[in-house]
Amino acid sequence: MPNLTINGVAVSVPEGTTILSAAKQVGIHIPHYCYHTHLSVAGNCRMCQVEVEKFPKLQTACSTVATEGMVVRTDTEAVRKAVRGALEFLLIHHPIDCPICDQAGECGLQDYYMTVGLHKSRYPLGDKIHKKKVQDAGSGIVLDAERCILCSRCVRFLEEVTGTRELQFFRRGDHSEISFFPGRPIDNHYAGNLADICPVGALTSRDFRFRCRVWFLKSAESICTGCARGCNIEAHFHEGVLYRYKPRVNDAVNRAWMCDFGRMEYRKANEARLLAPFVRENGVEKEMPWGALMPQVAQRLSDAVRTHGADTVAVIASPQLSNEELFLVRHFASDLLGTMNLAFTRRAPEDGFSDDFLIHPDKNPNSAGARLLGIPGEEAFHAVAGRISRGEIRALVIFGNVLGAFSEKGTLELLSKAPFIVQVGTNEGVVSRAAHAVLPSASFVERGGTFVNCDGRLQRFRAGFAPRGKARNTIEILVDLGNRLGAGWSFSGEESVFRALSRSEAPFRGMTYGSIGSLGREVKR
Amino acid sequence: MTGPLFDLAVVLIRIGVVFSFCMGLVMVFVWAERKGAAYIQDRRGPNRASILGWTAWGMFHPLADAIKFLFKEDFVPDNAHRAYYVIAPMFVIAPVILSVAVIPFGPDVSIFGRRVMLQIADLNMGFLYVLAVSGMTVYGIVLGGWASGSKYPLLGGLRSAAQMLSYEVSMGLSLVGIFMVFESVRLSHIVLEQGELLFGVIPKWGVFVQPIGFILFLTAQYAEANRTPFDLPEGDSELVGGYHTEYGSFKFSMFMMGEYLHMVVSSVIVATLFFGGWQFPYLHDTGFLFPGGFSVSLPEIVVLLMRCGSIFVKSLFFTWMYVWVRWTIPRFRYDQVMRLGWKVLLPLSLANVFVTGLVLLLLER
Amino acid sequence: MTVGIKKAARPRKMSFPEGVYLVEIAKALWLTMSHLLRNIVRQEGIRTIEYPEVRREMPPRFRGLHRLMKREDGTPRCTACFCCPTACPAKCITIVAGESPDPRVEKFPVRFDIDMLRCVFCGLCVEACPLDAIRMDTGWFTPPDDSREKLVFTIEMLLEKRG
Ligand code: SF4
Ligand code: SF4
Ligand code: FES
């Protein structure tokens, strides 16, 4: 454990720690571009120079390992001068196109220019070297070679993380530029991370480009719903519209990355949403206020139970729901309706694409949670489906937008057998086309809760903004409906449900939102 | 001509003439207000409305206004009490018109050998009638404020009730001195009395025998007419438009007209009580008779015209005074209004009565 | 540290003649009357501008309706950088950015609406623009119109205006 002082602050760090990370531990920020926590050290941007006593020259903090008795200073005139010089060099050929650059607002050059630069350019505008702009680099990445500061983060990412090595430096000196081999653009499922790690606007995301200025965005800590991995992410939104996901560092799950499929999941919150409750009478949709619809639904359900018996109602849950929601769904089905016909179905018939890194075959974020909460999966679902197709089910409650085990045609055929179907869902789809009462629920980031990922890690996601349109939180809908069936629930918000859940469910016993934290926790198995 | 028919005709003509005189004055008044305000504030004032290209110095604007008011949608707000809402403006305008009745516009004249008063009704209770009748306008205002069913009018109405009641007291009291001096409340009598001379030099006008009374009365009149600096019932800066916020079209114009008519009438009254009414200084039935014994004799008709013109000019001046004061003095605060009314005007008018009585008593000795 | 307390002058107590108010009123009346008479006699003192016929010369920095500038080739100079909607305190600028076919332009406004009914004419958008693409030098006020929609100026309308 070497002990050193940085700007007079004593710190002791594990063997092999660099000065840059040691400084970070005591809250001293050392400017850097090429250094990335989850990539190897390159030491080529020279922004991280610091003064170390007894060293004749300034050292790069990202590559110098802390040793016993080191005395580091980051605030001397020599350091300032060197860093400003490094920045000025990086900016020599940088184009002045911040107004059109998508990185503006989260750009390393802008940030450090304001904190350590503030110099007047000494380089004539006309002498700037121009490189190729707006190149389609493949996999949804736009490359602007001119803006690149040659930090090589992207090169290292493609070498060390994906191993695909599409990007390389070409040419020399002032003319060096990042590019790909002709006919061999970026082609992997993690390319989106390139736009994240590029500290400047050289690599930007085609999907997010020009959609929204980053300074308008607000963010919420979240979990990707793309697959059972449950990558930790930040959801960025503005005025009730989701714009993008960015990975959040969690070394136990996704390190600092996420896949491109997951990145596109946000679109579902914006497209084809169910925004107002409606009923379908004789094939005609009719919008209806919540206040009028809820008593009707409750009435139909309790009528079915009373006249035909609890066996004739069924509840189909979804592993897209959070643990809190599933917990209520289970109580709703077994306690309030008193039925055994409860199962969940995933959103795809079988396992999807997967790889050996992050992408998991199960495309649902909470299948593990559903099982832990005692809601049976596909087998039980097929049993329920069988009962439906035999016409034994008189009232059916479906959570979710699709019945993954069936094709579209199959679903419609199956659902035509049930005389009364209630859907609690977020998006238009085959279920909303068949349901008799549609209760629009809050989509991802419009609500909070917890998921259990494929490795049994309980992770929390938070609400960012209020549900769109007239949609309501699923918990709210369940509590409302449950109380109409005599549940007497007084839950409000996911945290109150989680408290009840952690009291009664063994795997979650003793957990609180506080103890889950922002990085999650393993559940007991 | 037979007696009764002649009398009837005379009455009708008198009413017609006086009424149209007052209404005409209202028109002129509105014009003078706008043009006067403009000139006082270094503006140009109304100068757009024209007939065949002739703008008549903006004189057509009141006319255009009248036409506009007549053709605007006549609405009643949802929350209003329909009947009262409609009645209120009438309540404002009617008492004012009624009070014109007792004002003498000239001496008695003889037409076809009959004596005819240039006054609609020479009541022996004279000014008391004016006080009684003009006190009624407050009902119109409060009613309008209340019947509108909206908060600003209600506040405006309440304010004006408090204000008008407060000032009515001092208004009445400030005149007691005049009545004591002239020993009558009959207006024609008061005017006749004012034809005499004081110490043989100055005309025995109310303003000379009752200077304090005059100032008190004038002030109270401004307050009664809801006129700047006492226009708190309208208080546009805090009450939107005061008691007539919810009024529009012809009903609003009735409020307007009532207000202006009130001012015209009170100008005539001030002229009558304090400035000798139709009396022209040193002018007697036969012509001028100056203090030094110097005299000019004039034909009867000239004398009559001079006398009628005299009250006309005096009233015009006081009407103008309303405009003039409005564009000079800013609005009082409400507590200031109340303080002035109760703590200054009332004691002063009481003192005035007392002093007048004392002086009269001493003179009699 | 000394706290800088500034003693504000209390209003002077009124002298008796002032307190009586009458003299002061008379003075005030004289003042207004002098204006009136002066304006009747000669009209030079009158400041009124006969509006539709005569227009006030706009001061050079007058902030009127906005216009968008064009490049030499007639395309909008604006690159949809969103600086102006960021600066706008009234939140009345709506921009939708698009990818330009010309890689040297790269980004351009597909939509650029200014809601003139919301605009407070503060000029911050002009101040914020890095490209001098938006100006408020048309010398015009918001014109009256009979619908709200017509007062949301679109990019076409804004490009058409002259300074
Ligand atoms: S002038 Fe001010 S309020 Fe109007 S658009 Fe520009 S920034 Fe917004
Ligand atoms: S600030 Fe200028 S360039 Fe940027 S969006 Fe506004 S008008 Fe366009
Ligand atoms: S971060 Fe150390 S050289 Fe780039």
pLDDT at residue C1, rounded to an integer: 57
Distance C126 CA to ligand 1 centre (A): 8
pLDDT at residue A206, rounded to an integer: 94
Residue A485 confidence (pLDDT) above 70: yes
Residue range A22-33: mean pLDDT, rounded: 94
DSSP symbols for A114-165: IIII-PPP-S-GGGPPP---SEEEETTEEE-GGG-----HHHHHHHHTS---
C90 lines ligand 1 (CB under 6 A): yes
DSSP symbols for A210-244: TTS-GGG-EEEEEE--SSTT--EEEEEEETTEEEE
Note whether A431 and A273 are within 8 A (CB): no
Cis bond upstream, residue B46 (ω within 30): no
Residue B1 confidence (pLDDT) above 70: no
C68 lines ligand 1 (CB under 6 A): no
Calculate what percentage of chain A has a pLDDT beyond 70.
Answer: 99
**Chain C contact probe: residue of B33, B39, B219, B222 with most C CBs at under 10 A:** B39
Residue range A422-442: mean pLDDT, rounded: 93
Q: Is B215 on the interface with C (CB under 8 A)?
A: yes
Site of tokens 């890194």: A357
What's the rounded Cα separation, in Å, for the pair C95 and C85?
Answer: 8
Domain boundaries, chain B: 3-35+75-275+292-364
Domain boundaries, chain C: 16-48, 67-160
Which chain A positions have a beta carbon within 8 Å of C104's beta carbon? 133
Select from C97, C84, C78 the least CA-distant residue to A209: C97
- The residues, ordered by sequence, that sit 6+ positions from A363 with a Cβ below 8 Å of its Cβ are A226, A227, A228, A346, A347, A348, A352
Domain boundaries, chain A: 3-91, 278-351+367-522
Determine phi and psi for B178, rounding to 5 degrees: -60, -45
- The model's pLDDT over A333-354, given as tens digits with 9 standing for 90+, comes to 999 999 989 999 888 766 778 8
* CATH architecture of residue range(s) C67-160: 2-Layer Sandwich (3.30)
Q: Does C131 contact A99 at a Cβ distance shorter than 8 Å?
A: yes
Ramachandran region, residue B196 (left: φ > 0; alpha: ψ -120 to 50; beta: rest): beta
Lowest mean pLDDT among A49-53, A437-441, C70-74, C101-105: C101-105
Asked if ipTM goes beyond 0.85, one says: no
Distance C129 CA to ligand 2 centre (A): 5
Residue A451 confidence (pLDDT) above 90: yes
Residue A243 confidence (pLDDT) above 90: yes
- The residues, ordered by sequence, that sit 6+ positions from A347 with a Cβ below 8 Å of its Cβ are A318, A319, A320, A363, A364, A400, A401, A402, A404
Q: Which whole-number Å values give the CA distances from A79 to A8, A43, A414, B298, in the listed order?
A: 15, 16, 71, 111
The mean pLDDT value of chain A amounts to: 92
> What is the largest distance, in Å, between two alpha-carbon atoms of chain B?
71
- Half-sphere exposure in the Cβ direction for A159 (13 Å, CA): 11
- Tell me the whole-structure pTM to 2 decimals: 0.72
Residue B66 confidence (pLDDT) above 90: no
Determine which residue's CA is closest to atom 3 belonging to ligand 3: A43
Residue range A174-191: mean pLDDT, rounded: 93
Residue with more model confidence, B45 or A305 = A305
Q: Which CATH class is domain A3-91?
A: alpha beta
First to last CA, chain C: 53
Residue with more model confidence, B59 or A461 = A461
> Parallel, antiparallel, or unpaired: how do β-strands A49-52 and A284-287 relate?
unpaired
Distance A74 CA to ligand 3 centre (A): 14
Which chain A positions have a beta carbon within 8 Å of C98's beta carbon? 210
Select from A297, A443, C75, C29 the least CA-distant residue to B329: C29
Q: What does the DSSP 8-state code read for residue A358?
A: S
Q: Does A209 contact C86 at a Cβ distance shorter than 8 Å?
A: no
What's the rounded Cα separation, in Å, for the pair B349 and B122?
Answer: 27
Q: Cα angle vertex B301, ends B295, B306, to 5°?
A: 65
Determine which residue's CA is closest to atom 3 belonging to ligand 2: C78
Amino acid identity for residue C87 in this structure: A
A82 lines ligand 3 (CB under 6 A): no
- The residues, ordered by sequence, that sit 6+ positions from B201 with a Cβ below 8 Å of its Cβ are B291
Residue with more model confidence, A316 or C24 = A316
What's the rounded Cα separation, in Å, for the pair B304 and B309?
Answer: 8
Torsion angle, alpha carbons of A309, A310, A316, A317, to 10: 160
Q: Which whole-number Å values give the CA distances from A236 to A30, A444, A463, A465, B102, in the listed order?
A: 27, 12, 11, 11, 83
Q: Which whole-number Å values give the CA distances from A427 to A412, A443, B137, in the listed order?
A: 16, 8, 68
What's the rounded Cα separation, in Å, for the pair A257 and A355?
Answer: 14
**Residue C35's closest chain B neighbor by CA?**
B40
pLDDT at residue B2, rounded to an integer: 60
Determine which residue's CA is closest to atom 7 belonging to ligand 1: C88
Residue B203 confidence (pLDDT) above 90: no
Residue A329 confidence (pLDDT) above 90: yes
- Which residues have C-beta atoms less than 6 Å from ligand 2? A 99; C 78-84, 95, 128-129, 131, 133-134
What's the rounded Cα separation, in Å, for the pair B13 and B29?
Answer: 23
Determine which residue's CA is closest to atom 5 belonging to ligand 1: C119
Amino acid identity for residue A8 in this structure: G
What's the rounded Cα separation, in Å, for the pair A472 and A485?
Answer: 19
What's the rounded Cα separation, in Å, for the pair A384 and A314?
Answer: 7
Amino acid identity for residue A321 in this structure: L
Select from B186, B190, B196, B208 the least CA-distant residue to B281: B196
pLDDT at residue C53, rounded to an integer: 83
Lowest mean pLDDT among B149-158, C26-35, C118-127: B149-158
Which chain C positions have a beta carbon within 8 Å of B328's beta carbon? 25, 28-29, 31-32
Amino acid identity for residue C162 in this structure: R
Site of tokens 């008391």: B128
- The model's pLDDT over A66-120, given as tens digits with 9 standing for 90+, comes to 999 999 999 999 999 999 999 999 999 999 889 999 999 999 999 999 999 888 9
Note whether B32 and B319 are within 8 A (CB): yes
What's the rounded Cα separation, in Å, for the pair A29 and B156?
Answer: 66
Lowest mean pLDDT among A289-303, A444-458, B58-72, C148-162: B58-72
What's the rounded Cα separation, in Å, for the pair A504 and A374?
Answer: 12
Which chain B positions have a beta carbon within 8 Å of C35's beta carbon? 39-42
Residue range B225-252: mean pLDDT, rounded: 76
Distance B152 CA to ligand 1 centre (A): 34
Q: Which CATH class is domain A278-351+367-522?
A: alpha beta
Amino acid identity for residue A412 in this structure: L
